[in-house]
Amino acid sequence: MLLTAVLFSACLKTEEFPKEPHIEFKSYEQRPDSAELTISFTDGDGDIGLDQGDTLSPYNPGSHWYHNFFVDYYKMQNGEWELQQFTLPLYYRIPVITPTGQNKALEGDITVQISPQVLPQTPGDTVRFSVRIADRALHESNTVFTDAILVQ
Q: What is the pLDDT of residues 109-142, one digit of tens each?
A: 999 998 776 776 788 899 999 999 999 999 999 9
Q: Is residue 5 part of a domain?
A: no
CATH number at residue 76: 2.60.40
Model pTM score: 0.85
pLDDT 10s digits, 9-61: 444 455 678 899 999 999 999 887 888 999 999 999 999 999 999 999 999 99
Q: Is residue 56 part of a domain?
A: yes
Whether pLDDT at 74 is above 60 = yes
Q: Is residue 32 part of a domain?
A: yes
Q: How many other CB atoms are found less than 10 A from the CB of residue 67?
A: 19
Q: 3-state class of 7 per DSSP?
A: helix
Structural domain containing residue 83: 14-150
Check residue 71 and give its pLDDT. 95
d(CA 92, CA 80): 27
d(CA 119, CA 29): 15
Q: Is residue 111 part of a domain?
A: yes
Total domains in the fold of the chain:
1
Whether pLDDT at 107 is above 80 = yes
